[in-house]
Amino acid sequence: MPVEFSGLNGKVIVITGASDGIGAALATLTGSNGAHVVLAARREAALQGVAAASGGETLVVRMDVTRREDHARLLASAIARFGHVDVWVNNAGRGITRTVLELTDSDVDDIMLVNVKSALYGMQEVVPHFQARGTGHVINVSSMLGRIPLATFRSVYCASKHALNALTACLRQDLRVTHPAIHVSTVSPGVVATSFGANAIGGGPDSRGLPSAQPVEEVAEVIARTILSPSADVYTRDGMRQMAARYYGAEDMGAVEAEFTMRPATPAR
């Protein structure tokens, strides 16, 4: 067990979207360092594979994050197995390749349900448990596009992550006075080497083939360090915080947008 992550030993960590990508990497890292990991997603076979790679004590819960009642069942299952929950990671999410003028009602509803309401359901379910215990940690996995919406072909994805950031900050402020031992964190990755792009509504480039994509293992390490040393606002790569500060501190945000706006490799459908 690496000394850096030895503090994870014995912690009960719930991770949604744990069948692949960041969630799977986080489950493997925390589980291999002694955490009791509860893996949640729709694909049970994939979850079982992650559980086997994680080692230690794990619990697989097949669930749909878009169903509020599934979050209640997830929490109940975790408590039944491990007695309590220490950390709840809202990691599930979905991408989309649509500009603002191409969005349909269905596009907006689907992305907001998966990226915002699912995290809301998780927070509303687990925080009363944390309040009763007097301690706990909610981690919401957001995106750099939730700070700076420079990929216009990800329009409503950007909007959903901005909304998630706001809900996260509001919850943190509500709990700060009454329950100071309950931590609420936002983690903002950039482009990560996962199947996110390939699975986006409307298609898109496979992030795993992009030379600038951050390895999922690095993102998992950042989240693990956030568990061990809670912080409100976390970025997974150097320079991201400074870029956000530059954007919001600019007298003309449009000038920064003109400099950095990303374009898709192929036109959005």
Q: Which residues are catalytic?
A: 157
Residue 112 near residue 163, CB atoms below 8 Å? yes
Taken as a whole, the chain contains a residue count of 269
Torsion sign across C-alpha atoms 108, 111, 113, 119: negative
Strands 12-16 and 87-90: parallel
Helix (H) or strand (E) holding 184: strand 182-188
Q: Measuring CA to CA, which residue among 182, 171, 89, 180 is closest to residue 135?
A: 182
Beta-bridge partners for 139: 89, 185
- DSSP output for 90-112: E-----B-B-GGG--HHHHHHHH
Residue 29 near residue 51, CB atoms below 8 Å? no
Please name the amino acid found at residue 5: F
Q: Measuring CA to CA, which residue among 77, 32, 26 is closest to residue 56?
A: 32
